[in-house]
C-alpha cells in the first residue's frame, strides 16, 4: 500500500501577547521562522502527496488485468474522479499508463513495463532458471514457479505453465504469504532459525484455509521438517484444492535468493506423489543454484 502524506501547512504567526500589530512591514522578531521556507514545506508536502496518489493509482491500474475505468480507479484509490483523472493524465503523458478512449479503460503503459523488466534483469537467475523450469514442467506435468523474497512476502518472478486443463496460474509480480505457501516456507527454511523466527514474528499469521499454520510453534516445527527433507510442502494452506512443493535456490554465500516450486490441484498432487515431486524440485533447485554460481549452506 502506498500511504499518503498530508501537505504541511504553515500556521500563521500570532502577535506577541499584550502588543498590537501595527504594520505588515514590522521587522521580523528574532527566532520567528520566515514565511518562505514554510511555503516551500507546504509545496513539498503537496508534491509528496501527489506522488503517493499517482503511485497508488498505478498500482490499481496494474492490478486490473482487463483495464479499469476512471470511476473504478478513483473509488479504489479513495480519490475524487477529477483528482484521479488529473493524475492519470500525468501518468499517461509519461507513458506509465495508457488510455483506451473507445472503451474508457486505463491500462499499464510501456514505461511501467520497462521498469518491471529492469527489476527482472537485476535478478539474472530468472533467465538462467527458465530452461530448468521448462524441463521440470515436462518431467512433472505440473506448473513450475520461481519466486523471490521482497519486503516480507514471496514475489513470483516467472512461471512455466503445464498443459493440463486444470492448472495453477500465477502472474509475475503476484505475491504469496511466507507462512502459507510452498515458496514462502522454502525461503524461510533456508534461512537461519534466528532470521526465520525474526521475520515470522513481523508477519501476521493469517488463516487462509483450515490447513494454514497460524501457530508460531507449529510453523517453526514445519520449517524444521522442511530442512530435514529438503523441500517445503503447501498442503492446501493458501488455497483449498491446491498443493505445492518447493525448494530454495542459494547464492554464492549460501543465502536463499529464490525458491522453485511445482503447483497443481490436490487431485493430481496426491500423498503418493508428494515425496517424488519434492525430491524432483529439490534436485532442480540445486541445479539452478549451481548455474548461478551459488552453493548449498551445507557446503
Domains belonging to the chain, first-starting first, are 35-112 (1.10.10.10), 123-291 (3.30.450.40)
Evaluate if residue 242 carries a pLDDT over 90. Answer: yes
Return the pLDDT at 5: 34
Is residue 22 over pLDDT 80?
no
Q: Is a pLDDT exceeding 50 seen at residue 198?
A: yes
What tens digit of pLDDT does each residue of 267-288 get? 999 999 999 999 999 999 999 9
The residues, any chain, with a CB within 8 Å of residue 116's CB and separated by 6 or more, are: 172, 173
Q: What is the pLDDT of residues 146-159, one digit of tens each?
A: 999 887 789 999 99
pLDDT of residue 44: 66
How would you write 42-57 as a 3-class SS string?
A: HHHHHHHHHHHHHHHH
| Residues β-bridged to residue 247 | 260
SS3 71: helix
Q: What percent of the chain has pLDDT over 90?
A: 54
- Predicted confidence at residue 33, as pLDDT, reads 53
Q: Tens digits of per-residue pLDDT, 202-217?
A: 888 999 999 999 999 9
Asked whether the predicted pLDDT for residue 74 surpasses 70, the reply is yes
Burial class (CB in 10 A: 0-12, 13-18, 19+), 66: exposed
Average of per-residue pLDDT values in the chain: 83
Alpha carbon distance 262, 273 (integer Å): 12
Predicted confidence (pLDDT) at residue 4 exceeds the cutoff of 70:
no
Question: In this model, does residue 197 exceed pLDDT 90?
Answer: no
Length of the chain in terms of residues written: 299
3-state helix, strand, coil in the chain (%, to 5): 45, 15, 40
Per-residue pLDDT tens over the stretch 157-190: 999 998 887 777 777 788 899 999 999 999 999 9
Q: Write the CA distances from 11 to 4, 8, 111, 121, integer angstroms.
A: 21, 9, 40, 48
DSSP 218-246: HHHHHHHHHHHHTSEEEESSSSTTEEEEE
Q: What angle do CA 161, 120, 283 make, to 5 degrees?
A: 55
Q: Which whole number is the average pLDDT over 11-23?
A: 40
Strands 242-250 and 232-235, bridge-based pairing: antiparallel
> The pTM is what?
0.62
State the cell numbers at 174. 503476484
Contacts of 62 by beta carbon, 8 Å cutoff, 6+ apart: 108, 112, 173
Strands (E) in 163-281, as ranges, are 175-176, 232-235, 242-250, 256-265
Give the CA diameter of the chain.
90
Q: What per-residue string of b and e applies to 82-108 under the rule 16 or more CB within 10 Å gives b?
A: eebeebbeebeeeebbbbeeeeebbbb
Q: Is the pLDDT of residue 78 over 70?
A: yes
* Residues 238-242: contacts with CB under 8 Å, at least 24 apart: 238/176, 238/177, 238/180, 238/181, 238/208, 238/209, 238/212, 239/208, 239/209, 240/209, 240/211, 241/265, 241/266, 241/267, 242/168, 242/266
Residue 62's pLDDT is what? Answer: 86
pLDDT of residue 96: 92
Using the structure block, give the residue that is written with the C-alpha cell 523441500.
231
Q: Residue 87 has which C-alpha cell? A: 493524475
Average pLDDT over residues 252-257: 88
Amino acid at each position: 500500500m502506498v500511504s499518503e502524506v498530508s501537505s504541511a501547512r504553515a500556521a500563521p504567526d500570532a502577535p506577541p501577547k499584550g502588543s498590537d500589530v501595527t504594520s505588515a512591514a514590522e521587522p521580523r522578531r528574532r527566532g520567528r521562522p520566515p514565511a518562505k521556507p514554510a511555503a516551500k514545506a507546504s509545496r513539498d508536502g503537496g508534491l509528496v502527496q501527489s506522488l503517493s496518489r499517482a503511485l497508488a493509482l498505478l498500482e490499481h491500474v496494474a492490478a486490473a488485468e482487463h483495464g479499469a475505468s476512471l470511476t473504478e480507479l478513483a473509488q479504489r484509490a479513495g480519490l475524487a474522479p477529477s483528482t484521479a483523472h488529473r493524475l492519470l493524465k500525468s501518468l499517461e503523458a509519461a507513458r506509465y499508463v495508457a488510455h483506451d478512449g473507445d472503451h474508457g479503460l486505463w491500462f499499464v503503459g510501456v514505461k511501467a513495463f520497462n521498469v518491471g523488466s529492469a527489476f527482472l534483469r537485476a535478478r539474472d537467475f530468472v533467465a538462467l532458471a527458465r530452461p530448468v523450469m521448462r524441463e521440470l514442467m515436462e518431467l512433472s506435468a505440473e506448473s513450475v514457479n520461481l519466486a523471490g523474497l521482497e519486503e516480507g512476502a514471496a514475489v513470483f518472478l516467472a512461471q512455466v505453465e503445464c498443459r493440463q486443463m486444470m492448472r495453477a496460474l500465477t502472474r509475475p509480480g503476484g505475491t504469496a504469504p511466507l507462512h502459507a505457501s510452498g515458496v514462502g516456507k522454502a525461503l524461510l527454511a533456508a534461512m537461519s532459525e534466528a532470521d526465520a523466527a525474526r521475520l515470522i514474528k513481523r508477519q501476521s499469521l493469517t488463516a487462509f484455509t483450515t490447513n494454514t499454520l497460524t501457530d508460531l510453534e507449529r510453523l517453526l516445527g514445519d520449517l524444521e521438517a522442511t530442512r530435514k527433507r529438503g523441500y517445503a510442502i503447501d498442503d492446501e494452506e493458501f488455497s483449498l484444492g491446491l498443493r505445492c512443493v518447493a525448494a530454495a535456490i542459494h547464492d554464492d554465500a549460501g543465502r536463499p535468493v529464490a525458491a522453485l516450486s511445482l503447483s497443481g490441484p490436490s487431485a493430481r498432487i496426491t500423498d503418493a506423489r508428494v515425496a517424488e515431486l519434492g525430491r524432483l524440485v529439490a534436485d532442480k533447485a540445486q541445479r539452478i543454484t549451481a548455474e548461478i554460481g551459488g552453493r548449498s549452506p551445507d557446503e
